[in-house]
Amino acid sequence: MKTAIDTYAAQQQHMQSQLAVSYIPAVKAMAHRMKERLPSSIEAGDLISIGTEELIKLAKRYNADINDNFWGFAKKRVHGAMLDFLRSLDTVSRGDRRLIKEVEKIIISYFGENNEEPSDEYLAEVMNEDIVKIQRARYAGDVYSLMSLDDQLQVFGHENTESIVMHDEVIERVTEILSSMGERDQLIIQLYFYEELNLKEISEILDITESRISQIIKSITRKIREKVG
């Protein structure tokens, strides 16, 4: 026979489940929007799964007396869980960050001459590196370069007081760097990072191939990271 406590617990569990389910479409929308900026090897389904799992945990912790809007309480945390998942995919050690930069430089140079990206085999031969290391470095570079600037700061940085204080200063410095670049590059960055258009949409507006736009974005974000430090 169920006690009053058992009944209350069952009701609470049902309400939490319903709360989580009602916001799954918002999680899916967030995942698909993030997926537009990531390599094809990353599945939107994985992001949705991670986001949904976090949503369920948050529904159990949610207190309507403290936070009057559940999605307002959960949105940043769900987004953070997806970023943590992307961070976990980075199998390149900090000691190999140099390799990522070198790979990006060669890709950009090759693309400028041939209007296409080089193969992993070409990069491995030119750099005299193991092809698996090249693939990992290339993958990590693509993940970070095509994420939003704010997300890049979160992935590369750490959630501590110093990084939070520096955040606005870094954004201001990024704005200064962008203002010194060419008009086309500024427009592409504006459309991609601030207007949040995807590569296909920008391609249609500027009549430039998606691969070329991707290369421009990678090149600019690499320059920004070098100058910002």
d(CA 103, CA 107): 6
Whole-prediction pTM: 0.50
200, 210 in Cβ contact below 8 A? yes
Hey, how many other C-beta atoms are within 10 angstroms of the C-beta on 185? 16
Q: pLDDT tens-digit profile of 215-225? A: 888 778 777 76
pLDDT tens digits, one per residue of 168-189: 666 677 778 778 888 888 888 8
Q: In this model, does residue 10 exceed pLDDT 70?
A: no
Residue recorded with tokens 């009549």: 207
Pick the CATH number of 4-88 from 3.40.50.1820, 3.40.50.300, 1.10.1740.10, 3.40.50.720: 1.10.1740.10
User: Is CATH 1.10.3470 correct for 94-228?
Assistant: no
Given a contact cutoff of 8 angstroms between Cβ atoms, the answer to whether 55 and 24 are in contact is: yes
Topology match between the domains 4-88 and 94-228: no
Average the pLDDT over 2-10 and give the result.
51
Whole-angstrom distance, CA of residue 108 vs CA of residue 37: 19
Domain locations along the chain? 4-88, 94-228
- The DSSP code for 157 is S
